[in-house]
């Protein structure tokens, strides 16, 4: 496989992942960004903890979708992330539903 073929494959995979994100983002209440991943979730529990003088974040999510190019199954029931870096949690606004 040539470098050009590999770059084309990765570009197609990223476009596919973006399209999936666009299709599912309306199903979730929160966007969660950690140092390694981006998640969409409907339930988020953030706990700030400390041990041996170090502060860390324990994030538990339920009913989630993971932005990960290399995962075959991006929908997950529960996720737990423990990190020493900042965690950004944003509540997503729901679009108004217009009934005919």
- The residue extents of the domains of the chain are 3-91
Q: What is the pLDDT of residues 50-92, one digit of tens each?
A: 989 999 999 999 999 999 988 888 999 999 999 998 899 999 9
Other C-beta atoms closer than 10 Å to the C-beta of 37 total 14
Average pLDDT over residues 26-40: 94
What integer best gives the mean pLDDT of the chain? 89
73, 61 contact by CB (below 8 A): no
Residue of higher predicted confidence among 94 and 14: 14
pTM over 0.85: no
Residue 97 has pLDDT above 50, yes or no: no
Task: Determine the Cα–Cα distance for residues 8 and 99; give it in Å rounded to an integer.
Answer: 41
């Amino acid at each position: 496989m040539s470098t050009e073929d590999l770059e084309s494959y990765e570009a197609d995979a990223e476009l596919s992942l973006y399209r999936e994100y666009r299709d599912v983002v309306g199903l979730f209440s929160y966007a969660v960004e950690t140092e390694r991943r981006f998640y969409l979730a409907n339930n988020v529990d953030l706990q700030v903890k400390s041990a041996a003088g170090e502060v860390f974040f324990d994030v538990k999510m339920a009913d989630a979708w993971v932005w990960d190019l290399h995962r075959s199954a991006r929908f997950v029931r529960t996720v737990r992330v423990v990190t020493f870096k900042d965690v950004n949690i944003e509540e997503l606004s729901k679009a108004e539903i217009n009934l005919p």
